[in-house]
Amino acid sequence: MTQTIPTTEPAAGVRPPAAGRRLRHTPRWLPWALVLPALAVLGLLLIYPLGWVGVLSFQDFGLRELVTGERSWLGLDNFRDVFHDPLLRTALPNTVVFAVVNVALTVAAGTAVALLIAQLGQVARAIAVGAIMVAWAMPAVTVTYVWVFLFDARDGFFVELAGHLGLVDPDQTNWFTERLAFYAIATVNVVQHGFPFVAVTVLAGLSTVPRDTLEAAVLDGAGAWRRFWHVTFPLLRPVFAVVTILSTIWDFKVFTQIYLMPGGNGTNRDVLNLGTWSYITAISQNRYGLGAAIAVLLTLMLLAITAVYLRTLFRQEEL
């Protein structure tokens, strides 16, 4: 007896469902029309100002040109001035080393907090997540002033504590004047403000890790570290890629936490980074073209780092 295998193809003369006909006849321009408002806002708020910064970087544009509207094109002279300026040898290492250290510490601290919260009960977890979200919601200006107050050279809590322990002389200690101490304080500030995002993101990723996989690892005798490194981390590699890229972008362009600290506004040139150097050059010295060139250099460096990282991830088929 021959068995007839049913087919899903429509019989001759039978019209496809209405939903299929509508999908098939959807105009190609419709998806673009739907995203056009978002693209317009993005272009207005991001691409247009960024384009003008690029144009200014090729001009000798100062306060006089701002008033008269004149244009004086210099070509690549602003970029040559930046590369020959001794401040580049200070600002560039400050920017790169500070960003690398902060990205590593932020991702590590956020991951540790996420793993800790994942072990809590529902009530305790809700309280912990709410607490770190409050810390994340605090404006960077407010948090920076708090840390400046705590490390104040005159009556800061940590200076007084170190003095009572005999570690420093409070009357002769000002940690904001020393490059390493200055950036250590800034690192604490940035990590404290950035780890909640990593913690919440990794915590969401941990909820997708199969329990039976972790239980099998426990039965095989794997400890907590081996379970994380050989089971959890490979499964959450795309999550760690996202938080690392975003943290890199944020930490390379840190401005508020540096500028608002004593000496960060240009009075102490040893602690300048590319962001504060660009701002001080453009706004304080009215050399908008040169300041724009520094900003373009920072932007290109960020784009290069992000592109290399994404290319590596795509090669490994992790995203």
Say if residue 14's pLDDT is above 70: no
Q: What is the pLDDT of residues 183-234, one digit of tens each?
A: 999 999 999 999 999 999 999 888 888 887 777 877 777 777 887 787 788 8
In the numeric block, the tokens 């199969």 are attached to: 210
Query: Which of 146, 110, 143, 103 has the alpha carbon at shortest distance from 129?
Result: 110
Spatial neighbors of 274 by CB under 8 A, at least 6 apart, are: 91, 92, 95, 294, 295, 297, 298, 301
Cα 257 to chain centroid distance, Å, stands at 14
Distances (CA, A) of 21 to 15, 25, 33: 9, 6, 20
| Residue type for position 189 | N
Give this prediction's pTM: 0.80
CB environment 186-208: b (16+ within 10 A), e (fewer): bbbbbbbbbbbbbbbbbbebbee
> ∠ at Cα 44 (43, 46), nearest 5°?
65
Name every residue whose Cβ is closer than 8 Å to that of residue 71 and which is 6 or more positions away in sequence.
59, 61, 65
Query: 169 to each of 9, 151, 162, how far by Cα in Å?
Result: 86, 14, 8
Query: pLDDT tens digits for 281-307?
Result: 988 888 888 899 999 999 898 888 888
The matching CATH number, chosen from 3.30.70.260, 3.40.50.280, 1.10.3720.10, 3.30.230.10, for 87-285 is 1.10.3720.10
| Predicted pLDDT at 1 | 46
287 phi and psi angles, rounded to 5 deg: -110, 75
pLDDT tens-digit readout, 264-273: 888 888 999 9
Instruction: Give strand ranges (E) for 120-205.
Output: none
Q: Kindly list the domain boundaries of the chain, sorted by start residue.
A: 87-285
